[in-house]
A and B are shown apart, each in its own frame.
Chain A
Amino acid sequence: MKKMNIYMTGVGGQGIGMLSEILVRAVNYAGYKLKAVDTHGLAQRGGIVVSQLRIGDGINSPLIESGDADLVISLERHEALRAMNSMLKNGGTLVWYDTSWQPLSVRTGQDAEVRSDDVSSVALKKNVRNLRVYRDNLPDTRMQNITLLSEIIKNSLISGLELSHCEKAMKELMNEKLFVRNLAVLKD
């Protein structure tokens, strides 16, 4: 199967680990071979958290080379731009949730906050398909990761990955209550 490099990013505490674990299991159900790796430890305290997932035949390292990601998934606006700059291929796809967890230097006014337009303009320059996600009716902010998953499936961003694969993975990873609530978001 054709190779695909998926780079997931966000801020510690946003639920990247769960999103990554769902995708890892779901692409397995979709019939892909895979290698993956998550950030653990120190960075989880409010720093940048990254999960990498490489799918297809003949993959060795779980680490994606710079500028070699086909798909970047970001749970946060600053991190969307950062990952697009360093990891995304020209002509790749960016799917990101439009929330801003301001880094300290932005809160103190030393640096400008990244705006949604900044993401769009760089995407245009790099010929990147730019999918911004935002939902104002989310029952819980911790479900922002599932809205991105929903966008990935709706737009068939991972060929062969279907809702049923994700549903099966979520059932394995969540208790019944969480599963029901997150599934509703996934299907919304």
Chain B
Amino acid sequence: MINYGELLLRKESFSEIVIGNTAIVRAMIESGVRVVTSYPGSPTPEIATAIATIPVEKRPFYFEFSTNEKIATEIAYGASVNGHLSCVFFKSVGLNVAADTLVQLGHMNLIGGMVIVIGDDPGAHSSQNEQDNRHIAKLAYIPVLEPSSPSEIYTYFKAAAKLSKEKNMPVILRLTTHTCHQKELVNFDAFEPQHVDNTPLFDRSNGPYIPITASVFPMKRRALSRLNEVASDKFLKDLNVFINNNSKKGIITAGTTYLSVMDVLESVPDKPDIFKLALVYPLQLDDIVEFINLHDEVKILEELDNVIEQEIKTAAFDKGVKCSIKGKTDPEDFVGEYTPDKVREILSRDWPDIVKPAEKNSNDKPVPARPPQLCPGCGHRSAFYAIKKALKESDIKVGDIGCHTLGFLPPYNMVELLMSMGASTGIASGLALFNKTRKVVCFLGDSTFFHAGAAGIVNAIFNKHNITLILMENGTTAMTGHQEHPATGRNFDEITEKIPVKQMLEGMGVHKILEVDTYHQKKLTEAVIEAVNYEGFSVVIAKHPCMLKFMKAQKRKSDAPLKQVKIDQVLCDRSNECINSFACPSFYRNPDGSITINKDLCIGDGSCIQTCPVTAIKY
């Protein structure tokens, strides 16, 4: 088998097919990064998967999954002001959690340098919004480089690290879902490991590091002046791509949108000139205005918001540019990923003479939708099935982020509101005010409990909110790929002391805590009834290990065939409780209406057996 750990450390140059999330790790190593931190979130967790291929004793940097993005950012900051080049990575909305600290970083003198890797998610493939984090970079005075491919992730990371070290300022590398997960053959350079200096170099004379009173304005002025320097940096200019097609029309673009533009224009005879920007904040406006001045008409194609467009139009106005500059003209231009389909749609609308619209697909026979669902054997399924029996339809159910979010789907409909990590207890507390008639129940996963959930719980106790929290404890960070968390007894590298959820709740002062394995459905129903009838803040810990993780471990241990369930067709009275209410995907409806088991799917957990009113499901 291919040994990625060995490849990533190889001193000689080499080529390998990798995703962007793997390519970036080689760039970290070549750049001499000493500290890397993160909290798992799509599209970035595979960066840690690549890091894990390097045995800890050979890893040239320290890595940890911190309990949330803010803490991860603070650790990277602490390391940087001690002289170590650091890197923090997280998903788009993770930046909101980190923001309180992150917005200060541009003001600081980061003597070791620091690269902030953000995985934005245009298309909202696995996020609750499409937020364009270039806005926050502007707010925080931090430069942003935006690669379009794994090869560019590799080179831009190294450029970001170099810039950050030179100017002692943070630099953002803005990835998106389809740069993180894009695969191609990347040519990696040779490198010689540098001598590392572990001396703690923190010195307050490098500061100020205390952004209050008199120091705030000078720190802000320094941040602004560093941005000005970046805007004319020669080295960064060399990363831009200019394609001259001798056209009077031009396109300014960046990131993966550039790839879509190139593909859509491939069969076009009169191609516009193209200017692809590497640095998307601050803009190197002299070069951009020069490009615009060469053309009669320029189209700005950027994914999500019109961030570049606004700055370019301002500069063009100030310089009295004659060229017509076209940006976003329709609200739909702000929505969704700029895939080749989307770019074709926009270009054929704006330049119909050049780009033809796509032919419409005939959809002869529509196919039933396939929303994601809980895995076979998932403890959350048993939980939702049992909890539904304990609650009235009118009771209000608040969900949180994680696999259990999928409880919003039919037939459970057990999540009616969703916001952000750890938000459920706070939202539930608000819903409980003046409310004497409808019980309020909220859900929270165990990793999310540590991430941002605990503060909401403390508040509910402190301010005496009358709600029930159902803590869905599956012993892992399941949705993002089974990362450890503080209650699992392991961190990224080694065994560590468990911080049990139940003991934490007790320590916080929760008086009513009931703990039930979710496979004991009747007991769970009873526990939830008891908890919602309790006056005050109550918690039900609904626990069962993540069965996807469990089954993967089982399969590694043994090849023995699974003991699957079957349905006794004589006993079955076709009440369809199993498919309509419990709804494990392993049940199969035959054309004659009988139910059988899909042998590809059943893991033999047997959690369905208790749901059959006529005991027709058996081993």
Contacts and interface: CB of A to CB of B under 8 A. Distances in A.
Contacts of B374: 45-46
A62 B178 contact: yes
A46 B361 contact: no
B341 A107 contact: no
B148 to A, nearest CB: 9
Interface in A27-63: 28, 33-48, 58-63
A148 interface: no
Given A33-B185, A107-B583, A85 B259 contact: no
A40 B600 contact: no
A161 to B, nearest CB: 15
B361 A105 contact: no
A81 interface: yes
A36 B183 contact: yes
Contact of B185 (A34, A66, A102, A109): A34
B269 interface: no
A43 B12 CA distance: 38
Nearest to A13: B375
Interface centre among A41, A105, A125 (most CB of B within 10 A): A41
Contacts of A118: 365
A11 B339 contact: no
Nearest to A171: B1
B183 A35 contact: yes
A185 B297 CA distance: 57
A41 B479 contact: yes
Interface in B553-596: 576, 579-580, 583, 585, 587-589, 591, 593
A61 B179 CA distance: 10
Interface of B: 1-2, 17, 19, 42-43, 46, 125-126, 149, 178, 181-185, 256, 258-260, 262-263, 266, 339-341, 344, 358-359, 361-375, 403, 406, 409-411, 479-480, 576, 579-580, 583, 585, 587-589, 591, 593, 598-601
Given A67-B358, A101-B600, A107-B585, 19 more contacts: A12-B372, A28-B17, A40-B181, A41-B126, A44-B372, A46-B375, A60-B259, A65-B341, A65-B344, A66-B341, A78-B370, A79-B367, A79-B370, A85-B362, A101-B585, A104-B409, A109-B593, A110-B368, A173-B2
Interface of A: 11-13, 24-25, 28, 33-48, 58-67, 78-79, 81-82, 85-86, 99-114, 118, 121-122, 125, 141, 171-175
23 contacts: A13-B601, A25-B17, A34-B184, A37-B178, A37-B181, A39-B125, A39-B181, A40-B42, A45-B406, A60-B260, A60-B263, A61-B256, A61-B259, A63-B260, A63-B339, A78-B367, A79-B367, A81-B367, A100-B598, A103-B370, A105-B369, A108-B579, A112-B368
